[in-house]
Each structure stands twice: as C-alpha cells, then as structure tokens.
Amino acid sequence: MPIALSAGLLSLPPGLPKRERTRAQLVDSAIKVFSVRGVAAGTIQEIADVAGMTTGTVYNHFKTKEEVLSDVALRLATTLCTRITESQQGVKEGAERMAIGGRRYAWLAEVAPQWALLMLDVAAAAPELLVHIREYVLADLRLGVKQKAFRIASEEAAMDLINGTGTHAMRTIALGLAPPTHGADVAACVLRGLGVPHEKAEEIARRPLPDFPAPGVAAAAASRKTAPRRAPSA
C-alpha cells in the first residue's frame, strides 16, 4: 500500500477501548489476508493466525466472514475518501475535484495494483464500500452542477457513468492493460460525459495532481478552523 494511504489504513487511533481495539486489529489482519489470498480464498482461520488470536476471538466480534468484509469495506472506503478529500483542500471547482478523485483511484491501481484489485474484490462482495464512496462523488457532482460546469439529464445516470467508468479503468490499469496516461484520459472522458466542453475537459483532467498532506495534518487544520475562539486572558 502506498505510504500516503497506509498510515490511515493500518494504524489504529489511540485510546480505543480493548474490545474496539481487538476488532480493529482483526480488520487489519483481514485486509492483509485478503490482499494476498483474495476475498474468496481468505478464511477466518487465516485472519486469526495473522492477528495472533484464536478463531473463537474472531467469532466473538464477527458472526460471519461477510461481517468481516463489511468492516474491511468501511475501512478501505473511509481511508481512501479521507485522504483524497484532504488532498482537495482549497480546490473549489467541482469539475477539478471530480477529476482529482477519479485520477487518484487510477493512481492507486498504477502504484499498488494488488490493493486496487482487493478494493474491487471487496466492493463486489460488500456493496457498502461503493455506497460510502458514493457520498463523496455525489457531493462533487452536485457542486459541478451548481457551478453550471456539468449539464446532466439524470443524477443517477451520471453516477453510473462516473462509478462504472472509474472502476473499470482501475481494473484495466491494475492488470497492466492501459497506457501511462490512462487515468487522465479517463478523467477527461468522464468530464465530457458530464457536459464539460472537450478542450476544457482535457485541460482540467491534465492539471497536476495535488499532493497528499501528511496524515492528520488536514484534519488538524480543519479542527483549528472550527474550534471556538477563546477570549483573550486578562
């Protein structure tokens, strides 16, 4: 997993109660197992072995493998969406935000194909992953519509265009079947499908990607902005 994402994916927040920490450690172990073995082949026993726990401990937290998958899906989606959103700080244009999001998933497929394929594998088995990601994509879509950059006949059709194109592009890239420019090429096609003129779509899609801030930096900055102001001391 790329360093820019791994800190948020496989690190646990401090101060978790024992039961929550154990559950989170089991999810970490499941991610490791599924990334090597695949979702279908990975077993509860293997998850327990990697965690250094018994299968009984796993079943104390998850009734089925499907429940484990659900938590894995939530962890993957939350980490990816959070890091992408942090990298979009200061980007006000809905069309550019859409391009950044799409290109970041393509980037993941390029630099960490195993993890990208795991994500697609988990999404097929646990649809809640895509439901979680959908909230972020929909916000950027609606922003682009509000700014009159996007002209769409149906919000649902537009979401299918974005998500269907993006997931297929991830698989193509992860399997080594795409040229180096595929992420930007696909982002430009999606923008054109949403109504952005050809030349403008190409320009937006090929802007330099913003860097990921250090994990937690953007969140801390946001916290400072929203924190109540203290009255000056006497």
User: Residue range 132-153: average pLDDT?
Assistant: 95
User: Residue range 12-18: average pLDDT?
Assistant: 75
pTM here is: 0.79
Tracing tokens 């690190």 back to the chain, one arrives at 11
pLDDT of residue 131: 84
Query: Can you read off the two tokens belonging to residue 204?
Result: 């937006």
Q: How many helices (H) and strands (E) does the chain have?
A: 12, 0
CA distance readout (Å), 164 to 21, 120, 156, 159, 160: 35, 12, 12, 8, 5
Q: Rounded to an integer, what distance in angstroms lies between the CA atom of residue 91 and that of residue 51?
A: 40
pLDDT of residue 144: 98
Domains detected in the chain = 3-211 (1.10.357.10)
Q: Rounded to an integer, what distance in angstroms lies between the CA atom of residue 40 and that of residue 151?
A: 40
34-38, 117-121, 131-135, 217-221: segment of lowest average pLDDT = 217-221
Residue 230 scores a pLDDT above 50: no
Between CA 199 and CA 204, with CA 203 as vertex, the angle to 5 degrees is: 120
Question: What pLDDT, in 10s, does the model give residues 145-162?
Answer: 999 999 999 999 999 999
Question: What pLDDT, in 10s, does the model give residues 43-71?
Answer: 999 999 999 999 999 999 999 998 998 88
